[in-house]
Structure 1
Amino acid sequence: MRAATRTAALRSAAGSLLLTTLAAGPADGAPLVPDTPAAYTAARASSPDAAADRGTAVAAARAAAAGIRFGACADGQDMPGSLRCGTVTVPLDYAHPDGTRIRLTVSRVRATQRDPRNSKHRVPRQGALVYNPGGPGASGMYFPLAGLLPEWKRLGAAYDLVGYAPRGVGRSAPLSCEDPKRFYKGPREAPAHPSEAYKRERIAAAKAYARGCAERAGRALRFYNSLNNARDLDVLRAALGERGLTFMGASYGTYFGAVYATLFPSHVRRMVLDSAVDPDPEQIWYRGNLRQSAAFESRWADFRDWVAAHDDVYGLGRTGRDVQRSYDTARARLAAKPAGGTVGPGQLQGAFLDAGYFDDVWAARAQALSAYLRGDPAELVQQAGPHREAAAEAENAKAVYTAVECNDAPWPTDWKVWDRDNTRLARVAPFETWDNAWTNLPCAYWPAPRQRPLDVRTAPGELPPTLVLAAERDAATPYEGALETQRRLAGASLVTERDAGTHGVAGGPNRCVNAYVDAYLLEGRTPGRHASCAPHREPEPYRP
């Protein structure tokens, strides 16, 4: 499921991706269930791998005994002193916990225990709140800095805010599939209806990328998957000394959060799933990406209509069709002469894909397009051009994304299936369809064994109440995913932001959504089966 990631410290931590009774007692104390192989095996009869269950118990027991030694962060020279970092050790292969082990990096800011509404009052500490921003391939290492923001101060008073880099990401046994120096190859095409010759080029590139993953990772490649991400999360819980996990996952983080809830329901204290991926095994991941591409077409139309409503500012057209023609004109010009020598149609499409994720970039993207068509490419180059200083991070994120999605599930191995499905979809949803297909095409030629996706579901009373959040017009994780997640996790509550499409709603501009999140995480209160919030305000047009 292709997802956008933001790397700036606070934006990554707390931008638009952020964000009843307790199922557990105090957070510091003995585990809810014994961390023993027998207990783990008995806890989940539907577990796909009893040996891995036993290995998870062994790893969790070791982590609970060792804890995490927090100290200065390796790249924290410019970070607040309250941010501390450490590592937790997990098995590469949970079926063999005494074999190769890897270390995951973890970050934390301690609970302030000061009520932001009255700093003279102390609030009780509620343990650790662990966050994952999704991807696959995104790092949550900067998440604890969210506590500096007003929307997060109440949570930061009650909880230690904990982020981490999942396996393969950053310094956590980093995965790579190609030389980062080759990652940005300059201006590229992005045809909405590719020729046969172009398709052959992309097939060759996908095969080469899959080979590169195998050559660089070796036998370890198969172990980068969602099941192991969920198991790693339980080891992290134990290392933090938590009786039950309090977790917030966004985007892909909702999927392996739901996997965690299925494998370890008795280990969950509270869980927020923000912008939920559809966990139906039939949607993981090939069909889910097709549904995502279709949803982006609707969100792209929302953006065009907004630009048209502000034609007096941007001059790109008075209707959505007019704005599309302006965009197509820019594509044609960039194909003939890349802006700044680096921005071709592919870079343009990538930049404007962000507008499908986050409406807070609408004004900047519209202004850049308007200026380019008037003869000034500077803003477009700045927004769409490659940032070579971030090449290694971007290549690492792509490698982890590819490995997890390819390992998680069977994919069609016959190019004719991909060609048929994407050709049909591109007739009605041309904006993102083929670009999404090229992103995932290495999975057709993947050299590692594929898994069968876990049947995510819990029985009534098995899992504490959870909170699912969704924007009704979210394209990256279409709304059907939130409904399916609620159906599969018994007792889950769903909060919907109506008529809105920003991907990730917790900790954003919608006070109604944030109030439900605070009530749940601070008091354990859920809004019943379903609550809804009016949309946040649309962005204001940017006037240079």
Structure 2
Amino acid sequence: MRAVAKYGVVTGLGCLVLSALTVAPAGGATLGPESYGLESYGTALAAGRAAAAGITFGNCPEVEELAAPVKCGTVKVPLDYANPSGRQIKLTVSRVKASGKGTERQGALVYNPGGPGASSMYFPMAAELSEWKRIARAYDFVGYAPRGVDRSAPLSCQDPSDFVKAPTLAPTHPSASYKKERVAQAKAYARGCARRAGAALRHYTSLNNARDLEVLRAALGEGRLTFMGASYGTYFGALYATLFPTHVRRMVFDSAVNPDPQRIWYRSNLDQSLAFEGRWADFRAWVAKHDKTYKLGTTPETVARNYEKVRAQLAHKPAGGKVGPGQLHAAFLATAYSDDAWPKRAGALSEYLRGNAKPLIGQAAPKPESARSEENGTAVYTAVECNDAPWPTDWKTWDRDNSLLARRAPFETWDNAWMNLPCALWPVMPRQQPLDVRTGYGVLPPTLILAAERDAATPYAGALELHRRLAGSALITEEDAGTHGIGGGSNKCVNAYLEDYLLTGRTPVRRAACAPHPEPDPVSLDRRTAQPKKLPHAV
């Protein structure tokens, strides 16, 4: 979809009535919980096979860009858990062993950064970071690419070269003709997914991601799973906790998706668009506060006018021939995910208005070398969300809901709608009915939920809902902050709770709060150029 996965953590490492293009029974039918019995048997069978086979770890392929001591391997999972002896696919796995003495080791810590469509193959590299070193003494750090992602039976819906075509528009209040064009594009995209994936398309789901996690646990030789999921990773982690509660050792849910079945996924995206508006306001207020550095205005309203001025200029003359309003918007979405992006984006906007387009081009222009990865991530995102739940199939519903919302939240509403519109035309029927996530007291060990109060990608209400549904869970809130994905980040208070939980299993009784991490320091372009280079950040 974008430079960052929609329900994924930004990491510092590495129209009409829409007719369904059905390839199975048509209509609004859904698959309810009663259909999960065969899959439960298939999961147990696959996990038993994986436990017997284990994972053979060796040097990582060059394409992974992971050097020793990180090792790589694969684990086989059924494409279809209702047919566990049918087609098998391989998931790529990475691992670095615990650095502590033998008596310190507690097992494997498996991490997923979200998406859908994001990989955590890089995660073992985090063992070298200061925020993770004590945890890395006790745990093997395990990353993996979920089904469909990268080399794990990769999914594709269109030619990657088409995916990065630029410049593009991104109107906040689109015309009727523009809407009609986007509906046609969504229809073509859905057909492309069906054509390229064929019958396998229906098996890219959150429930299968949870089942794959159970097979991975068994393959690692872990009697019970220690797992940390961020963003979308919290959702299928919660599905895992519901399906396999006795196989859970410890679980961290960082920036929680709202698991209420009524919000998966159409309403969740509307909630997200509204929350993005608040975070966009946070960014503009910060820029205004630092007008001496950026000269973009002393009020959020003036900053907004300058942003719109740049949008208009790029619509008339794209920067470098590649950066139009669509690329500008995609780049500035990063400001809602992480305030680490604020100085960089504000600096680029400021420099553009001073006549220097190079910083903006560097940050916003499509990168052909990442086209394949971005197209793949978007394909997996789309397949999982479209398969997971019923979606409205009448364009009037989408047009009404998003037109009303765009009056209050113009920044992200329509871009979000276009991203998800293929789900209205999805060729796989029937859709699944989302699992009702919940566990009773004493069924699940204590779990830990981390949330930033002003998170846009996963609004805070989702953390409250997950906390309510997982009996015995503890919720740690970073107050008045909005970075998406806070575990192992810059907040020492949050990290202390995370570390204590993973090392000892202790949690607060119910809830605890942390003060917000410091706002980013505005740094002039001249001073920033003179600073030493840091690890690259995906913003």
State the one-letter code of the partner of 1:193. H
Q: Which one of 442, 448, 468 corresponds to residue 467 of structure 1? A: 448
Conserved in 2, the CA contact under 8 Å of 1:187 and 1:338?
Answer: yes
Aligned-pair distance for 1:185?
A: 1.2
User: Is 1:87 the counterpart of 2:74 in the alignment?
Assistant: yes
Q: What's 2:23 paired with? A: none
- 1:34-433 maps to which residues of 2 (within 5 A)? 48-75=35-62, 79-113=66-100, 124-433=104-413
Aligned pair in 2 of structure 1 residues 535, 89: CA closer, same or farther (>3 Å)?
Answer: same
Conserved in 2, the CA contact under 8 Å of 1:73 and 1:85?
Answer: yes
Q: Which one of 483, 504, 518 corresponds to residue 537 of structure 1? A: 518
Conserved in 2, the CA contact under 8 Å of 1:296 and 1:432?
Answer: yes
Mapped to 2, the partners of 1:163 and 1:296 lie a distance apart of: 29
State the one-letter code of the partner of 2:448. L
1:253-302: CA deviation from partner (whole Å, max 9, x where unpaired) = 00000000000000000000000000000010000000000000000000
Mapped to 2, the partners of 1:146 and 1:344 lie a distance apart of: 35
Aligned-pair distance for 1:123?
A: 5.3
1:367-411: CA deviation from partner (whole Å, max 9, x where unpaired) = 000000111100000001101100000000000000000000000
Mapped to 1, the partners of 2:157 and 2:63 lie a distance apart of: 27
Q: Secondary structure at the match of 2:114?
A: coil
Q: Secondary structure at the match of 1:12?
A: coil
State the one-letter code of the partner of 2:506. R
Conserved in 2, the CA contact under 8 Å of 1:14 and 1:508?
Answer: no
1:225-255: CA deviation from partner (whole Å, max 9, x where unpaired) = 0000000000000000001000000000000
Conserved in 2, the CA contact under 8 Å of 1:47 and 1:263?
Answer: no
Mapped to 2, the partners of 1:128 and 1:457 lie a distance apart of: 25
Aligned pair in 2 of structure 1 residues 11, 296: CA closer, same or farther (>3 Å)?
Answer: closer
Q: What's 1:26 paired with? A: none
Q: Secondary structure at the match of 2:104?
A: coil
Q: What's 2:531 paired with? A: none
Aligned-pair distance for 1:181?
A: 1.4
Mapped to 2, the partners of 1:412 and 1:110 lie a distance apart of: 46
Conserved in 2, the CA contact under 8 Å of 1:13 and 1:145?
Answer: no
Conserved in 2, the CA contact under 8 Å of 1:471 and 1:496?
Answer: yes
Mapped to 2, the partners of 1:451 and 1:321 lie a distance apart of: 44
State the one-letter code of the partner of 2:378. K
Q: What's 2:535 paired with? A: none
Aligned-pair distance for 1:11?
A: 7.3
Q: Secondary structure at the match of 1:49?
A: helix
Mapped to 2, the partners of 1:402 and 1:359 lie a distance apart of: 27
Q: What's 2:467 paired with? A: 486
Q: Secondary structure at the match of 1:4?
A: coil
Mapped to 2, the partners of 1:478 and 1:466 lie a distance apart of: 20
Q: Secondary structure at the match of 1:476?
A: coil
Conserved in 2, the CA contact under 8 Å of 1:136 and 1:401?
Answer: yes
State the one-letter code of the partner of 1:130. V
Higher relative contact order (CA 8 A, sep 6+): 2
Aligned-pair distance for 1:189?
A: 0.4
Q: Secondary structure at the match of 2:171?
A: coil
User: Is 1:502 the counterpart of 2:512 in the alignment?
Assistant: no
Aligned-pair distance for 1:542?
A: 1.9
Count of aligned pairs between the two proteins: 505
1:119-149: CA deviation from partner (whole Å, max 9, x where unpaired) = xxx7510000000000000000000100010
Conserved in 2, the CA contact under 8 Å of 1:123 and 1:157?
Answer: no
Mapped to 2, the partners of 1:3 and 1:475 lie a distance apart of: 16
Conserved in 2, the CA contact under 8 Å of 1:187 and 1:342?
Answer: yes
Mapped to 2, the partners of 1:148 and 1:76 lie a distance apart of: 21
Conserved in 1, the CA contact under 8 Å of 2:10 and 2:484?
Answer: no
Aligned-pair distance for 1:77?
A: 7.8
Aligned-pair distance for 1:12?
A: 3.3
Conserved in 2, the CA contact under 8 Å of 1:13 and 1:142?
Answer: no
Aligned pair in 2 of structure 1 residues 3, 230: CA closer, same or farther (>3 Å)?
Answer: farther
Conserved in 2, the CA contact under 8 Å of 1:2 and 1:135?
Answer: no
State the one-letter code of the partner of 1:127. G
Q: What's 1:521 paired with? A: 502
Q: What's 2:11 paired with? A: 12
Conserved in 2, the CA contact under 8 Å of 1:13 and 1:146?
Answer: no
Q: Which runs of 5+ in 1 are unaligned?
A: 16-44, 115-121
Q: Secondary structure at the match of 1:536?
A: coil
Mapped to 2, the partners of 1:209 and 1:77 lie a distance apart of: 28
Conserved in 1, the CA contact under 8 Å of 2:230 and 2:485?
Answer: yes
User: Is 1:454 the counterpart of 2:435 in the alignment?
Assistant: yes
Mapped to 2, the partners of 1:327 and 1:356 lie a distance apart of: 15
Q: Secondary structure at the match of 2:110?
A: strand
Q: Secondary structure at the match of 2:433?
A: coil
Aligned-pair distance for 1:4?
A: 2.5
Q: Secondary structure at the match of 2:432?
A: coil
Aligned-pair distance for 1:195?
A: 0.2
Mapped to 2, the partners of 1:276 and 1:11 lie a distance apart of: 15
RMSD: 1.7
Mapped to 2, the partners of 1:47 and 1:146 lie a distance apart of: 41
Identity of aligned residues (%): 67
Q: Secondary structure at the match of 1:95?
A: coil
State the one-letter code of the partner of 1:504. G
Mapped to 1, the partners of 2:120 and 2:268 lie a distance apart of: 24
1:491-517: CA deviation from partner (whole Å, max 9, x where unpaired) = 000000000000000000000000000
Mapped to 2, the partners of 1:198 and 1:338 lie a distance apart of: 19
Q: Which runs of 5+ in 2 are unaligned?
A: 15-31, 526-539
Aligned pair in 2 of structure 1 residues 189, 79: CA closer, same or farther (>3 Å)?
Answer: same
Aligned-pair distance for 1:182?
A: 1.1
Mapped to 1, the partners of 2:104 and 2:13 lie a distance apart of: 23
State the one-letter code of the partner of 1:421. D
Q: Secondary structure at the match of 2:11?
A: helix
Mapped to 1, the partners of 2:350 and 2:221 lie a distance apart of: 54
Q: What's 1:31 paired with? A: none
Q: What's 2:529 paired with? A: none
Q: Secondary structure at the match of 2:320?
A: coil
